[in-house]
Structure 1
Amino acid sequence: MSDKLSKYRSKRDPNRTPEPVPDTPSPDGSADGSVDGSVDGSVDGSVDGRAFVIQEHHARSLHWDLRLERDGVLVSWAVPKGLPADPDTNHLAVHTEDHPMEYLTFHGEIPQGEYGGGTMTVWDTGTYETEKWSDREVKVVLRGERASGRFVLFRTRGKNWMIHRMGAPVRDPFPPLTPMLPTDRTRPPKDVSAYAFEFAWGGRRLLVPIDGGRTDAARDHPWLRGLAESFGSRTAVLDGEVATLGGAELLVFYDLLYDDGHSLLTEPYTTRRAALEALNLTGPHWQTAPSWPGESDAVRRAAREQGLPGVIAKRLNSPYEPGPSKSWLFVPS
């Protein structure tokens, strides 16, 4: 018989990696049932309830590995941006070598310098049903805790594959990347208890969309790649500005427009602020800006002492309103 795991073994040394590396099989066994060797275009109900796993793999570049049990192995694809949440957007899926069944539960640190070196965790696991399986198209229904629904993997040109979600989107659309802007005031509002007060940093405004562990903002700010990767599969749109503090650039975040598949535009400032603080955004080039509800005079005085241009008063019950808004007030220090 053909050894379906020969390519897998050729890339791994069991003495150097914690990954499962089964022994070479004996000559007797079943035929190859992998994607490349199967040309079965019919519906295959005999594999209903077989296992799948999706692993989050922080290797040279972040990606997710989708593995489907079939004929004694895990047929595998690397999906750089994870499973698509919207049927209008297909994601690249790179067909890789078959993996052993023991990989269903594998997680750990693959040493740097080894094939796939980096941290691997189990992102989701469950069972799946097969609707079609051929050498050019695999249509399945995933039944996991985080990944569920109908997906089709299809071959394009050469060895390239894409993955498509069938059915309705499973998350809100991303909001427009238009920042909310304050209105200028010469004095703080009279009802200070209705506002939170933050420093006006005097920097460059920056909205940071994060999807699939990546952000377009990294094109101008490469150091944001680390922040985006730390989000894993969690989607977000962060609002802040790049300020120069102590001679170094620092991105200070002070609002959250979108979080984990849900738009927060209509939520009050207090809800968005709590969600932002729960992210614990602290890194070498970014941090969460402080906020002081009801503290007008002290914050304004501190801004003046630190040479900042002023403070922003943000109404506690205000939604996020892209463009100029009277719910945010700039007051000079």
Structure 2
Amino acid sequence: MTPKKRKKDGEDRQGGDGGGDRLAAYRGKRDPGRTPEPVPEEKALPHGDDDTFVVQEHHASSLHWDLRLERDGVLVSWAVPKGLPWSPDTNHLAVHTEDHPLEYATFEGEIPRGEYGAGTMTIWDRGTYETEKWSEREVKIVIHGSRVSGRYVLFRTRGKNWMIHRMDPPADPGAEPLPDSLRPMRPVEKARLPRDQEAWGFEFAWGGRRMPAYVEGGRTRFTDDRGRAVDGPGGLGSRLGASLGARPVLLDGELAVLEGREIYMIYDLLHLDGHPLLDVPYRERRERLDELDLSGPRWQTAPWFPGDGDAVRLAAADQGLPGVVAKRLDSSYEPGEDSGAWRFIPVTS
């Protein structure tokens, strides 16, 4: 960036101590013999065009995203717990952290346990940015990335706490936020399997507690079968949220006890990446849920079997499960309804 352009952008620097060693705080928190992170020995020197940005997904003690902007030979950095906002309707907290070396813009790896920032670091997005304003209290930029682009402003609120606001309209104008609450669809009970089994998908009935999961910004909240907020088992929400990262998702499932352990069994996908899926046929919702590959120590995607209800019912009886749930392959999701498009068939009748 030329001196003329820098004066126009704003003369104040954010982070560091002016003419001193701007990476002193960074080096003081890291042992180069233990961490794979870049730890340059020399003082930071201005080089480059002050136009590089990177967003890194950091699975540390709590999942967050690190926004880093090249400025005067270092990466000025903020930790953003919920990621960059996709809409101007919501501001996200951004906590200003120590300046990082420029080499950090390409860093991915595992920071060892016991070290500062221990956990997995991956690059979520990177590209270039333009500076519209840079002062001690406000930074306005235009980001050009592959996953996020647009005008953003960071403004200081108190101490190290800042907020980040998207100034443009949403990148996806058709995107909708997750609903605050949704009452799950329920099956009606029938004694027999459907005659036209090829038109149905079959799942095990787990006999658990119904708990839709709302995942956004790496965090998860749950509601019960009446749409009321409930707490999930300790650790489930944070781990499930971390597995989905920044993707906003609404899942339907239940907390079941399998072999003495509580497992969250996921069997429907109702909202994905800003788009409701309630009107999408069950077969497509299940296929898209399978593509998410959700499987972890406390959760898993429940299996489903198109067109083979007799075999599923026999397997349910062998495993001591209460029955099977038949779902029409072409059925939409009807929140809060007892619908004949879903049928619960007990293993004994």
Q: How does 1:19-98 map to 2 (within 5 A)?
A: 19-25=37-43, 50-98=51-99
Alignment deviations for residues 141-192 of structure 1 (CA, whole Å, 9 cap, x no partner): 1100011111111111233101111222343321443211112223322322
Deviates more, 1:100-109 or 1:171-180: 171-180
Aligned partner of residue 186 in structure 1, secondary structure? coil
Matching of residue 185 in structure 1 with residue 190 in structure 2 = yes
1:208 matched residue in structure 2: 213
Alignment deviations for residues 201-260 of structure 1 (CA, whole Å, 9 cap, x no partner): 211001111111111249431231222212222222111111222222222111111223
CA distance in 2, matches of 1:286, 1:301: 24
User: Residue 7 and residue 320 in structure 1: after superposition, are their counterparts in 2 closer, same or farther (change >3 A)?
Assistant: same
- Alignment equivalent of 1:239, drawn from 243, 248, 252: 252
How far has the Cα of 1:135 moved from its partner? 1.1
1:34 matched residue in structure 2: none
CA distance in 2, matches of 1:249, 1:163: 38
1:43 matched residue in structure 2: none
Amino acid corresponding to residue 172 of structure 1 in structure 2: E
How far has the Cα of 1:123 moved from its partner? 1.0
Aligned partner of residue 97 in structure 1, secondary structure? strand
- Alignment equivalent of 1:261, drawn from 267, 274, 278: 274
Amino acid corresponding to residue 326 of structure 1 in structure 2: G
- In structure 2, list runs of 5 or more residues that go unmatched: 1-18, 223-229
Matching of residue 152 in structure 1 with residue 150 in structure 2 = no
Q: TM-score, normalised by structure 1?
A: 0.88
Matching of residue 118 in structure 1 with residue 119 in structure 2 = yes
1:280 matched residue in structure 2: 293
1:174 matched residue in structure 2: 178
Alignment deviations for residues 240-281 of structure 1 (CA, whole Å, 9 cap, x no partner): 111222222222111111223332222111111111112222
Q: How many residues align?
A: 314
CA distance in 1, matches of 2:102, 2:320: 61
Aligned partner of residue 146 in structure 1, secondary structure? coil
2:26 matched residue in structure 1: 8
Contact kept in structure 1, 2:281 and 2:330, CA below 8 Å: yes
Contact kept in structure 1, 2:22 and 2:43, CA below 8 Å: no
Identity of aligned residues (%): 63
Aligned partner of residue 75 in structure 1, secondary structure? strand
Aligned partner of residue 242 in structure 1, secondary structure? strand
- Aligned alpha-carbon RMSD (Å): 2.0
CA distance in 2, matches of 1:11, 1:245: 44
Aligned partner of residue 227 in structure 1, secondary structure? helix
Contact kept in structure 1, 2:182 and 2:336, CA below 8 Å: no
CA distance in 2, matches of 1:14, 1:285: 35
CA distance in 2, matches of 1:86, 1:124: 18
2:6 matched residue in structure 1: none
- Alignment equivalent of 1:198, drawn from 193, 203, 207: 203
- In structure 1, list runs of 5 or more residues that go unmatched: 31-46
